């Protein structure tokens, strides 16, 4: 099956109060979002599910408040028979909705600091050889980070530095965007074969 998948990319509106967001979500979703220790993470998660509910209502006539949000053994949230994945970075939320399991990651070049030596933590020997020959090393690291993050989110197994250092054979798709005067990468993995994905920048 070759399909085109839509990604919804939304800039977070921090003017909406946290309690207002909670009013739009059921208790299982709220409990999941409030498990984060940082208030900023709680808000970003609440906002993401607030937008996710709007998308499902408007695009599919489905109210996620009628479902209980569950978590797998690694903490990945899911609803029975609904497949979605969420990523956020630099005040942006990226949401992928699919017919089957899906993983998405968004990251900005700004977060790939030159002095952090990310290559030591995320690249395999084969990738390090490629990396050493490149002029634009930060862009390569940005893409590889997004690839591996989205792959393990797709697998639902969580991610750590040990799992990052593997060569991923399964093909995913990625695109670059200019946001916040910076380069952003969005990477997608899905259980069916994607030939493309589109990015909706105007959803509200």
pLDDT at 115: 65
Q: What is the pLDDT of residue 38?
A: 96
Of 44, 3, 24, 45, the residue nearest 192 (C-alpha): 3
- Would you call 19 exposed, middle or buried from its count of C-beta atoms within 10 A (0-12, 13-18, 19+)? exposed
Instruction: Judge whether 122 and 164 are in contact, CB under 8 Å.
Output: yes
Residue 91 burial (C-beta neighbours within 10 Å; 0-12, 13-18, 19+): middle
| Residue of 5, 165, 159 whose CA lies nearest to 76 | 159
What is the mean pLDDT for each group of 10 consecutive residues in the chain (204 residues)? Answer: 80 96 98 96 98 96 98 94 96 95 96 81 91 94 95 87 79 94 96 88 78
- pLDDT tens for each residue of 153-173: 999 987 766 677 788 988 899
Please spell the DSSP secondary structure of 47-62, one letter per residue: HHHHHHHHHHHHHH--
Tell whether the torsion through CA atoms of 108, 111, 117 and 120 is positive or negative: negative
Whole-model pTM: value is 0.93
């Amino acid at each position: 099956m070759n399909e085109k998948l839509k990604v919804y990319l939304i800039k977070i509106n921090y003017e909406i109060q946290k309690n207002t967001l909670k009013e739009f979500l059921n208790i299982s979703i709220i409990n999941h979002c409030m498990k984060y220790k940082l208030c900023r993470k709680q808000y970003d998660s609440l906002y993401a599910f607030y937008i996710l509910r709007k998308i499902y209502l408007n695009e599919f006539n489905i109210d996620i408040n009628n479902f209980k949000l569950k978590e797998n053994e690694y903490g990945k949230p899911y609803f029975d028979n609904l497949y979605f994945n969420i990523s956020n970075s630099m005040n942006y939320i990226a949401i992928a909705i699919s017919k089957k399991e899906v993983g998405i990651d968004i990251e900005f070049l700004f977060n790939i600091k030159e002095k952090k030596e990310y290559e030591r933590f995320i690249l395999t020997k084969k990738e390090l050889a490629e990396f050493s020959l490149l002029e634009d090393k930060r862009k390569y690291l940005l893409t590889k980070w997004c690839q591996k993050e989205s792959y393990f989110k797709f697998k639902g197994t969580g991610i750590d530095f040990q799992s990052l250092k593997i060569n991923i054979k399964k093909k995913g798709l990625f695109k670059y965007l200019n946001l916040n005067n910076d380069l952003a990468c969005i990477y997608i993995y899905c259980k069916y074969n994607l030939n493309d994905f589109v990015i909706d920048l105007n959803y509200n």
